[in-house]
Structure 1
Amino acid sequence: MEGNLGMQVKSALWKKDMSQKELAELVGISSAYLSDIIRGRKDGPKAQEHIKHIRKILSI
């Protein structure tokens, strides 16, 4: 999932002309934490909630 999520997020950010920092601000988390989620380093229950929010924002 980590590679898949990372590719999906990067592609969606590019299509929306949005930075990772902007996405992190919309989700309400730090850029570093967002990066950890995207790379699969964080995958607990809280991270899963953030992933749902990220997917909703980016429509993925």
Structure 2
Amino acid sequence: MLVFLGAAPHELDSYPRVYEQHYGGMGADARGRLAEYFAEPNRRLYELLGRDFGWQAPG
């Protein structure tokens, strides 16, 4: 991005994670509902981009 903008290279500082949380996996029922809900928009996106991201695959 910096090259594209013609800006000088810049190194970011290291930022520790604050309030980091760990969550359990998504339930099969919720994943199924989301996959069904987003199936058509995802299909259209895959078609537009010419690439399937596999978001419908179980995780």
| TM-score of the alignment, normalized to the shorter chain, above 0.5 | no
Q: Higher helix fraction: Structure 1 or Structure 2?
A: 1
Highest relative contact order (Cα 8 Å, sep 6+), 1 or 2? Answer: 1
